[in-house]
Structure 1
Amino acid sequence: MAVSSYDAALTRLLHDEGGYTDHPSDPGGPTNFGITLADARRYWKGNATADDVRALPQSVARKIYREHYWNALRCDELPAGVDYAVFDYGVNSGIGRAGKVLRRILKLSDRTSVVSDDVVAGARACAAPDMIVALCAERLAFLKSLKTFPVFGRGWTARVNGVRAAALAMAESRALAPELGEASPGKAVVPATSPAVTASTGAVIAAGAASAAMTSRLQVALMVAATAALAALVIFLVWRWRHRAEQEAATLVSPLPGGERSRT
């Protein structure tokens, strides 16, 4: 993956995470730039407090995200768009869950969350848009199963929808700027042993493929319609030119008494 892929993904993630929060319903507790107190203690200061989290430099958050989320999930080796979808999932719900869901989508054992060489190879062999759609569908289904969804559900749903749209754009090598709106605080985290509550991954991937095929057919239809319209315009212009030429020729031959014509 290009280095810029991480930069674009991190820009969007920081926008979604926002600044300092300490919502009573958030299992992450004091959080800044999406970095929880637990992460601050694990990766920055062993005795960090809520005040330390509030004063956390963004540079520290960026380093934590790069080393302990992006690199841990081997996002540099995943297809464009898939890397961002997996990365954001890992930050919001834990790298363990993100890794397991990625493995499940690739029909590999999810008894482990390790992003192995087999996972990387499988991801590269699949259509990125289908994987992105499946990842986001599993993620949203999981979020809806959480007891905190009534509190954070609106923000989480908007975030997943935004991630899906941006990831699909990345897969097509297009940049999609973050939309202005409310941040989506609240970590969607449960014990790693909890099963994911999702629809059939195969059905989701099939739906993604059908959607892509429909988009392709629509593009072809639009191209055919545009070509037909252009051909009609050319025919009209040719007819108009000939009509004018005939009118001009007629003005050069005016009728005279006796049926004779004046010729120049």
Structure 2
Amino acid sequence: MASFDDAFDVLIGNEGGYSNNAADPGGETMWGVTARVARASGYTGAMRELPRDTAKSIAKKLYWDPLRLDELDPRVAFQIFDANYNGGHPVIWMQGAAGAKVDGLIGPATIAAVQATDPLKFMMRWNSLRIRYFTSLKTWLNFGKGWANRIANNLWKGAA
């Protein structure tokens, strides 16, 4: 993966299309975008009809750009992007995986620490934190297998 466009294409492979699972706290989604996020971003149509390009625009604005992912190794950027899109605590995990001060604030020190960490070590630490988070959730029994497979797929792609 070399860019946001590449990362988004892989992300959509993880997310799929329309979903409205009663056990999912995110509720109705299309391309992984929840109805709440779509509405807040100005989309007023039916969720089943959310255009992929609209989802892509939302993903860039809300889940890629705020974490300054263009400044990072593309393999690392994808791992962070996928988790930010899927849910969790990406800034805290970035700091933890990079050995930076964990304060939850994205800034130059966090970016520099991530850039200075070997990408493969970062990805191993990152996904360790992510798995620990997932297993702490009440919804792990419903969605854990899918989340574990998602992380396994991401690690495979990151090692390519």
The answer for the alignment partner of 2:18 in structure 1 is 20
Q: Is the 8 A contact 2:95 2:114 kept in 1?
A: no
Is residue 8 from structure 1 mapped to residue 24 from structure 2 by the alignment? no
Secondary structure of the equivalent of 2:99?
A: coil
The answer for the alignment partner of 2:92 in structure 1 is 100
Structure 1 residue 107 displacement after superposition: 2.7
Unaligned runs of 5+ in 1: 170-264
Q: Is the 8 A contact 1:37 1:53 kept in 2?
A: yes
**Cα distance per residue 1:132-162 (max 9 Å; x no partner):** 1111111111111111111111111100111
The answer for the alignment partner of 2:113 in structure 1 is 122
Q: Is the 8 A contact 2:19 2:28 kept in 1?
A: yes
Q: 1:137 aligns with which of 114, 125, 128?
A: 128
Displaced runs of 4 or more, over 3 A: none
Q: Report sequence identity in percent.
A: 29
**Cα distance per residue 1:23-72 (max 9 Å; x no partner):** 00101000000000111122123xx4xx6211111110000111111111
Letter in 1 for 2:25: P
Secondary structure of the equivalent of 2:155?
A: helix
Structure 1 residue 106 displacement after superposition: 2.3
The answer for the alignment partner of 1:204 in structure 2 is none
Structure 1 residue 116 displacement after superposition: 1.0
The answer for the alignment partner of 2:80 in structure 1 is 86
Alignment length (residue pairs): 160
The answer for the alignment partner of 2:57 in structure 1 is 63
Structure 1 residue 92 displacement after superposition: 0.5
Q: Is the 8 A contact 1:21 1:31 kept in 2?
A: yes
Alignment of 1:166-177 (within 5 A): 166-169=157-160
Q: Is the 8 A contact 2:28 2:34 kept in 1?
A: yes
Q: Is the 8 A contact 1:80 1:128 kept in 2?
A: no
- Structure having the higher Rg: 1
Q: Is the 8 A contact 1:70 1:87 kept in 2?
A: yes
What TM-score results when the alignment is normalised by the length of structure 2?
0.93
Is residue 36 from structure 1 mapped to residue 45 from structure 2 by the alignment? no
The answer for the alignment partner of 1:227 in structure 2 is none
Unaligned runs of 5+ in 2: none
**Cα distance per residue 1:90-121 (max 9 Å; x no partner):** 00015xx1111101222333332x32111111
Q: Is the 8 A contact 2:16 2:31 kept in 1?
A: yes
Letter in 1 for 2:16: G
Partner Cα distance (1:146, 1:43) in 2: 27
Partner Cα distance (1:105, 1:77) in 2: 17
Partner Cα distance (1:35, 1:70) in 2: 14
Partner Cα distance (1:124, 1:10) in 2: 21
Secondary structure of the equivalent of 1:72?
A: helix
Q: Is the 8 A contact 1:103 1:110 kept in 2?
A: yes
Letter in 2 for 1:72: P
Partner Cα distance (1:166, 1:86) in 2: 13
Partner Cα distance (1:126, 1:101) in 2: 13
RMSD across aligned positions (CA)? 1.5
Partner Cα distance (1:13, 1:79) in 2: 16
What TM-score results when the alignment is normalised by the length of structure 1?
0.58
